[in-house]
Amino acid sequence: MHRRPFPAELPKTAREITVIRSDADNYIGRIKKMLGDAKRSIHMQYAYITYTDKPVDQDSGLVEMLAGLSSKPNLDMKIIV
């Protein structure tokens, strides 16, 4: 069965959605909060996940967090890099 990445049409009834506004100063914190709150699934396309050993890049913990979440029971995780 082929799953569509997005609904074929907009919902018939209005519902509340969450829009995350981020900038360079709050991006990592916002993303880590959203990922940590995930209960059923994490589907993301993230072209900038990469390895670096530069000291300035060592404090985000994003890759380590994703690695930890990947073994969370009943969490469907898909990341397109």
pLDDT tens digits for 51-77?
667 776 666 788 888 889 999 899 999
Comparing 75 with 6, the larger pLDDT belongs to: 75
Instruction: Quote the pLDDT of residue 8.
Output: 64
8-17 pLDDT tens trace: 676 677 877 6
Q: Where are the domains of the chain?
A: 1-81
Spatial separation of the C-alpha atoms in residues 24 and 27, rounded to whole Å: 6
Spatial separation of the C-alpha atoms in residues 20 and 29, rounded to whole Å: 11
Spatial separation of the C-alpha atoms in residues 15 and 81, rounded to whole Å: 30
> Is-above-0.85 flag for pTM?
no
